[in-house]
Amino acid sequence: MLPKSIMERDGELWYFVEEGDNASLNYRVRRILHEEQTPYQHLMVLDTYDFGPCLILDHILQTTSMDGFIYNEMIAHMPLALHPDPKDVLIIGGGDLGVANEVVKYDSVERVDMIEIDEAVVRAAQRFLPEVAGEGPLDPKIHVHYEDGVKYMANASRTYDVVIIDSSDPVGPAVELFSQPFYQNVHKRLNPDGIMSCQSLSPVFNMFYLQHIREVLDLFFPAVKTYHATIPTYNGGLYSFTIGMKKVPATLTGIKPHGENRYVTPEVLEASFVHPEYVRNDLKMRERT
């Protein structure tokens, strides 16, 4: 029996992902590389024709070999490049290891703690998506902990310069990663000049969640900024990220990402804060900086 998000049409397999209640996208699939029900979620890896191997959690596309670098570079480099001297970095989620591999491009970073609830995600990414997870052993700076990110944030005593919330969409085990108590604990775990970043979904299909995330972060951070990137396989193509900063920055210009990158440049990072007018109108942005 095929998984519920896979259908056969004219002798070919197609993966379909719903975009809100009234639309869906379809991807032609060469074959199902892997499928399992983990203790936390349904996990698949599909080999697609245009996007290569894709990681699917609870039937929602998470990353692909073709365009996963865009998301990983944007969620990681913005807070790291804005921070004056990031040394200790925390990643909540991030099981495909793509964000962790971006973080260690910064020479100043001494330690990366990655809190991933589902070990099966890491295994699948390392086996089937080396373009995202990397090949060979992990950088020794990266320390992977298989535990609940919400509980870790509530109980941890360690503090960080940068916290990156690389969660899946707000369903299943990721629901609490969008809650007010969770973000309050993120604020507590950040050093005085700390910066956090998170994915804040599509301004086209998920404006409710984007507004919610900004409103919650506004409760704890004096500077909250939303930025965007174009990611072909994500809802609507236009995708958003939001940062919370404990210190109001003097400027958001001259942002210089580190390492060899395929998407981010100083110009791309700076321009990503400029939104289309329809997004500004829908979001009713209340920028403080």
Binding residues for spermidine: 96, 166-169
Residue list for the binding site for S-methyl-5'-thioadenosine: 41, 116, 148-149, 173
Nearest Cα neighbor of 59 from 17, 104, 120 is 17
Find, among 182, 179, 229, the residue nearest to 209 by Cα: 179
- For residues 100 and 134, the answer to whether their CB atoms sit within 8 Å is no
d(CA 288, CA 123): 42
Rg of the Cα atoms in the chain:
18
Catalytic residue (one of 166, 193, 218, 282) = 166
166 tagged catalytic: yes
Side chain identity, residue 274: V
Q: What is the DSSP string of the chain?
A: ---TTEEEETTEEEEEEEETTTEEEEEEEEEEEEEEE-SS-EEEEEEETTTEEEEEETTEEEEETTTHHHHHHHHHHHHHHHSSS--EEEEEE-TTSHHHHHHTTSTT--EEEEE-S-HHHHHHHHHH-HHHH-SSSPPTTEEEE-S-HHHHHHH----EEEEEEE---SSGGGGGGGSHHHHHHHHHHEEEEEEEEEE---TTT-HHHHHHHHHHHHTT-SEEEEEEEE-TTSTTSEEEEEEEESS--S-S-S----S--SS--HHHHHHTTPPPHHHHHHHT-----
**Catalytic residue numbers, as ranges:** 166
